[in-house]
Amino acid sequence: MSKRDLMDEAAIAANFERLTQHSPMSSSHRPSYTKSLYEAIARDVCLDTHAHLPYLKEVAKGNVLEIGVHCGISTTALLAGVEENGGHVWSIDVHPACRYTHYGHPQWTFYCTWAGEVPQPGLPLDVLFIDGDHSYAAVLNDLQFWGPQVKAGGLILCHDADSASFPGVRTAIEDFCVWHNKPHDLHRGSNGLEVIYW
Residue closer to ligand SAM, measured from CB, 5 or 185: 5
User: Is residue 132 a contact residue for ligand SAM (CB under 6 A)?
Assistant: yes
Closest approach of ligand SAM to the CB of residue 148, in Å = 18
- Spatial strand order of the sheet with 193-197 comes to 108-112, 87-93, 62-67, 125-130, 150-159, 193-197, 184-187
User: Is residue 68 a contact residue for ligand SAM (CB under 6 A)?
Assistant: yes
Which of these segments, 65-73, 81-89, 146-154, 179-187, binds ligand SAM (CB under 6 A)? 65-73
Which of these segments, 26-34, 67-75, 165-173, 186-194, binds ligand SAM (CB under 6 A)? 67-75
**Which DSSP symbol is given to 142?**
H
Q: State the number of binding residues for ligand SAM (CB under 6 A).
A: 19
Residue closer to ligand SAM, measured from CB, 119 or 153: 119
The pairing of strands 150-159 and 184-187 is unpaired
Q: Which of 95, 180, 182, 187 binds ligand SAM (CB under 6 A)?
A: 95
Single out the residue of 126, 11, 132, 113 nearest to residue 74, CA to CA: 132
Which of these segments, 27-35, 128-136, 145-153, 190-198, binds ligand SAM (CB under 6 A)? 128-136
Single out the residue of 155, 161, 119 nearest to residue 136, CA to CA: 161
H helices, E strands: number in the chain: 6, 7
